[in-house]
Amino acid sequence: MRARKYPPEAVLRAEALAFSYGDHRIISDSSFVIAEGELVCVLGPSGCGKTTLLNLIAGFLKPTEGRLLCNGNPIAGPGPERAVVFQTGALFDWMTVQENIAFSLTCRNRPASERIEVAEHMANLVGLQNFTHRYPYELSGGMRQRVGVARVLAANPKIMLMDEPFAAVDVQTRENLQEELLRIHTATGCTIIFVTHGIDEAVFLADRIFLLNGAGDTGWLEFEIDLPAPRWSPENRLHRSFVTARERIYRHMRRDLQKSNG
């Protein structure tokens, strides 16, 4: 993947990063930086290493070679500056929406008044202010994912890691959640790394796309996406820049698929 030059406030840096499962090389000699406030999508087919990269950044896995740094500090394991939104939401069924959102603050023994204030603010940010006393089983799939996002934001991480969080909902809900995520990103300035296998989703969301391939090699491609403001406008899905970027990335993915199939 092509390395880029960023100012010192780059929040994440990879230096000659590599990872293998036994003899199987997943990521090889990759160096990159992600600036504070960027929304980067990691795109590619199943099995290409997207979730592996996310797990390395989260600290769930350790690099085989090279290193990852967050705010200049080597990542040696999970940490509060990096928080994950999983595909399933991973909510606690016995807790209300408010209690789920406030969970990280409860673990830190923050005062009840602060927990309630933060939870209410985050619930409002994701459009769930009227559902704070509901339980997960009373919510739709899209609403549960919003709770998962709000819970991560309540922890005030430097980086929010999202592993295909909208894959399990219907198309209309997915598009609504994508637009909501862009609004939240603008409002909070949080750095987001978003894993997806959907080209349209990546192009709509990302400032940059890291395209991993499934062709049996470890090369990455990088694409910069430039869509009009406000980024969350549904009209951007029809914009010329969106269509052009989508076509370009699709051609690269098709080429890699044909290569991997011989």
Q: At what angle do helices 171-188 and 112-125 cross, to 10 degrees?
A: 120
In a domain, 38, yes or no: no
What is the rounded distance in angstroms from the CA atom of residue 212 to the CA atom of residue 206?
15
Residue 67 lies in a domain: no
List the beta bridge partners of residue 162. Answer: 85, 194
The sign of the torsion formed by the CA atoms of 129, 135, 138, 141 equals: positive
Q: Indicate whether 132 belongs to any domain.
A: yes
Who's near 20: CB < 8 A, 6+ residues apart?
A: 26, 64
Per-residue pLDDT of the chain (262 residues; tens, 9 = 90+): 334 444 446 899 999 999 998 888 888 888 899 999 999 999 988 888 899 999 999 999 999 999 999 999 999 999 989 999 987 768 899 999 999 999 888 777 788 888 889 999 999 999 899 999 999 999 998 899 999 999 999 988 999 999 998 888 889 989 999 999 999 999 999 999 999 999 999 999 999 999 987 544 556 899 999 999 999 999 999 999 999 999 999 998 888 766 665 5
Residue-number span of the structural domain to which 139 is assigned: 91-156
Residue 133 falls inside a structural domain: yes
- Please state the φ and ψ torsions of residue 209, each to the nearest 5 degrees: -120, 130
CB of 50 closer than 8 Å to CB of 213: no
Structure tokens at 184: 């939240």
The secondary element (H helix, E strand) that includes residue 122 is helix 112-125
What does pTM read for this prediction?
0.90
Count: domains in the chain: 1
SS3 250: helix
Angstrom distance (rounded) from CA 86 to CA 166: 9
Give the model's pLDDT for residue 106.
79
The answer to whether residue 220 sits within a structural domain is no
Query: Does 57 map to a domain?
Result: no
Residue with tokens 């023994």: 109
Is residue 118 a part of any domain in this protein? yes
Answer whether residue 147 is part of any domain. yes
